[in-house]
Amino acid sequence: MRNDPLFHPGWIRFNEQRWGLSAEPLVLTPEKGDAWRLETVLYRNRQGRLVTPPRNPHLPIDFHCASERPASRNRRKRLALTRLADHLQQCEFGGSLSLSSVADDVRPFEWANMAARPRYTYHLDIASREEAIDPSARKKARKCRRLGYRCETTEDYAAVAACLAGPESRKGFDYRLDAEELARLAELMGPEHFVCFLARNAEGEAMGTRVCLFQPGGHALAWSAGMKTEAMKDGVNNLVAEEALEFFDRQGCSVFDFIGANIAPVAEMKEAWGGRLVCHYSISRRGIRQLAREAYVTARTMMKRESK
């Protein structure tokens, strides 16, 4: 079973329709035998270049190895990622490609003359979350309940979109999703893989939301979240996160991916949930500017060594 909901056909179709891309499923295996198997989904823009679609935290990768011995698994993953790097080396990029954390060995891409930039997220083991979560996160959720808030799963996509507009106006970015797009994604993926959580205050007004993608038995992704400015101090994010974790526990999901921990205030908020810090990589083709920059850094390093 694939753990990543980004393999879901409905998600792939949404990316094609919403962003005008062509999906390219890719399966790599050894020339002989079935010792390993690597699957991913690549996307091409209208110019035929590979891209990471907007609003995609990464490109999904699934790796299966016939052996559980660390030595065999490490070698076979290196071989599989080398094959992937060789395939990408033959393609034009339309930007950087954000890879799943399954691609935890970045050397094959560097050997193929690509640049790799580390990115971070938190993975929380759902089954053992009670021992991992900082009491401060629970305290904020309790405060929110005392204020009369309640959280529910919802199909009120207009209310969800209104909450997502909160951080858009405060931070100046655009989720590029409206109620109609959310409804379409929900239809494409179905309730077994797509869910919206909505927190309402004591007056019944929608104040905060979290939109998640999930694979029962696999990973749940905290895809989008937002709350209205007037609710920022009420602990709404904590209430919604707590309810989401309980929901995914019932679905048998193993890991909750908080999606992103690269900005200091965001990292501080997410680390309170006790997840494991996970690195994944964004890769890009080395252009003339980057090669010149690397040559300059190397030359300066050598000059400093010689001057000692």
Task: Kindly state the average pLDDT of the residues 113-142.
Answer: 96
The yes-or-no verdict on residue 173 having pLDDT over 70 is no
How far apart are the C-alpha atoms of 61 and 209, rounded to whole Å?
28
Q: Which domains can be identified in the chain, with CATH numbers?
A: 5-112 (no CATH), 126-278 (3.40.630.30)
Distance CA 28, CA 36 (A): 9
Confidence class of residue 81 from pLDDT cuts 50, 70 and 90?
very high
Q: What is the mean pLDDT of residues 277-304?
A: 71
pLDDT tens column, 151-162: 999 999 999 999
pLDDT in tens, 90-116: 999 999 999 999 999 999 999 999 999
Please state the rounded mean pLDDT for residues 46-67: 97
pLDDT at 295: 54
| pLDDT cut 90: percent of the chain above it | 86
